[in-house]
Amino acid sequence: MTEAASVEVARRLMRESAPRSPYVHTIQTAGGAHILLADGSRLFDADVRLAARIEQAIASGTVESLLSTLGVNGAPYVDDTPLTAPPLHALSLAIAQKCNLGCTYCYAQQGQFGGEAKDMARDVAEQAVNLLVGGATPGARLNLAFLGGEPLANRALLRETTRRAHQLAAERGVTLGFSITTNGTLLTEADADFFEEYGFAVTVSIDGPRPQHNALRPFVSGKGSYERIMENVRPLLAKQRRMQVGARVTVTPRNLSLRETLDELAHAGFHSIGFSPLLRSPNGAEELVREDLERVLAAMIECGNEFERRTMRGERYPFANLLNALKEIEKGTHRPYPCGAGAGYLGVSADGDLAACHRFVGDDDGAMGTLATGIDNERRDTWLAERHVHKQEPCRSCWARYLCGGGCHHEVIARGRPACDYIRGWLHYCLGVYLRLTPVRLARNAAPPENAHGARLAAAK
């Protein structure tokens, strides 16, 4: 298919997924019509008569009463009540607010978040571990993430903190996972051993095949960083057992060859490859606009189609965005927030300030107290009340609201919601993939479905 034809398909998906009702969304596959109930993200097959009644009800604005007649409109799965002071289950530490790369779009402004280059001090890291692990109830499952800047620029403290947190977790009877997001330029073989020992989830930022990556993520000197990263990451890829090594690709108008990127990184041995469209950068550089997002969706669908082909052949294809979306659809995820930011997840700056997440470090909009004074629960409760998807426009009338959660807070606060057509088009596509692959999977497993939606794939009366 030509690029123009792929973009036309993406535009059609965007049109088909435009919100017509806040309650339902319809999907057509070769197997017939399907209905997604926004409330509870419940998915049903619908016979021809039911599909026609739903279309009619959407047109006349009477869906709510039809759903009551059908008996699927009970107490809402998500009500207006915001979370209040949820238990902390994840912290990210900006362990080094400095970086050796000069990415053209860096949200952290060369890792310094607009301030001076600095390392986190040992006592700050200790307090952070005490807050996360020391305050957890036995049996809790927690995650400690190392971010920057470039976290390996403060390797000694990263290792010391990991060991200490691991020991404290064992003493307290909690399960603690570790993760790191790195630019890959400082990775060593000894890091590979360390991350394998502690079972890290390692995410390496790579923006595509060599030319695109080097244009977007050069060293501060201007020299390309691709060769160094791919060489450094080799021992990690070879050693990953407990550790998993993924790639994160920031998608800009300059690196839209997603399929090529995915195949190259999968071939190199990355466990998963995820794409993050860039909607907000501090200086506005490389941000995607509507026309770009049509091309991004076309490129994502190209990757998705390959995923579908490979899955049909019984092969694994490590396209993280689609794998994650299918898991969420399977679970029937219905959430009032897009992520755990400002809820069970907080970011910690090198100075010990707490923020709603790693992207709000140094940003008053997401300030949540300090390690010295504790979490500002009043601020957190206000945030959770204001950020609930029922308080967001136009989310309240969008069928995708409980799968999407209202969009990344950081991007929405800074830039609004320019990507809704893209988000809905992608979810609509993923629902179609799910509906096509589920019967194949069930036939292969020859066992009763364990998943919520498999069980629900029965016609509503």
Q: Which residues contact ligand SF4 (rule: CB under 6 A)? A: 338-339, 341, 357, 359, 392, 394-395, 398, 400-401, 404, 406-410, 417, 420, 423-424
Question: Where is 143: in which H helix or E strand?
Answer: strand 141-148
Residues of 63-79 as b/e, b for ≥16 C-beta within 10 angstroms? beebbeebebbeeebbe
Q: Give the single-character DSSP code of 254.
A: T
Cβ atoms 79, 391 nearer than 8 A:
no
CA–CA dist 136, 169 (Å, integer): 9
Q: How many CB atoms lie within 10 A of CB 218?
A: 17
CB of 27: closest distance to ligand SF4 in angstroms? 16
Question: Is the Cβ of residue 388 or residue 417 nearer to ligand SF4 in the bound state?
Answer: 417
Question: What order of strands is seen across the sheet that includes strand 24-29?
Answer: 24-29, 32-37, 42-46
Q: Which residues pair with 202 in a beta bridge?
A: 180, 245
Cβ atoms 248, 277 nearer than 8 A:
no
Question: Is the Cβ of residue 236 or residue 320 nearer to ligand SF4 in the bound state?
Answer: 320
CA–CA dist 288, 320 (Å, integer): 21
**How would you class 321 by CB atoms within 10 Å of its CB: exposed for 0-12, middle for 13-18, buried for 19 or more?**
buried
CB of 294: closest distance to ligand SF4 in angstroms? 15
Question: Is the Cβ of residue 206 or residue 341 nearer to ligand SF4 in the bound state?
Answer: 341
Question: Is the Cβ of residue 217 or residue 424 nearer to ligand SF4 in the bound state?
Answer: 424
Residues 6+ apart with CB under 8 A from 2: none
Question: Is the Cβ of residue 10 or residue 192 nearer to ligand SF4 in the bound state?
Answer: 10
Instruction: Give the amino acid at 391.
Output: K
Cβ atoms 346, 91 nearer than 8 A:
yes
CB of 359: closest distance to ligand SF4 in angstroms? 4
Question: Where is 251: in which H helix or E strand?
Answer: strand 244-251
**Do strands 374-375 and 367-370 pair parallel, antiparallel, or not at all (unpaired)?**
antiparallel
Distances (CA, A) of 256 to 2, 136, 249: 14, 42, 10
User: Largest alpha-carbon pair distance within the chain?
Assistant: 66
Instruction: Give the amino acid at 274.
Output: G
CB of 457: closest distance to ligand SF4 in angstroms? 24
CA–CA dist 284, 56 (Å, integer): 44
CA–CA dist 336, 115 (Å, integer): 33
Question: Is the Cβ of residue 148 or residue 338 nearer to ligand SF4 in the bound state?
Answer: 338
CB of 104: closest distance to ligand SF4 in angstroms? 19
CB of 399: closest distance to ligand SF4 in angstroms? 8
CB of 190: closest distance to ligand SF4 in angstroms? 30
Question: Is the Cβ of residue 255 or residue 392 nearer to ligand SF4 in the bound state?
Answer: 392
Question: Is the Cβ of residue 184 or residue 338 nearer to ligand SF4 in the bound state?
Answer: 338
CB of 48: closest distance to ligand SF4 in angstroms? 29
Question: Is the Cβ of residue 93 or residue 341 nearer to ligand SF4 in the bound state?
Answer: 341
CB of 179: closest distance to ligand SF4 in angstroms? 13
Question: Is the Cβ of residue 98 or residue 401 nearer to ligand SF4 in the bound state?
Answer: 401
CB of 310: closest distance to ligand SF4 in angstroms? 28
Question: Is the Cβ of residue 185 or residue 392 nearer to ligand SF4 in the bound state?
Answer: 392
CB of 126: closest distance to ligand SF4 in angstroms? 24
Question: What is the DSSP secondary-structure string of 62-100?
Answer: -HHHHHHHHT---S-SS-SPPP-SPPP-EEEEEEEE--S
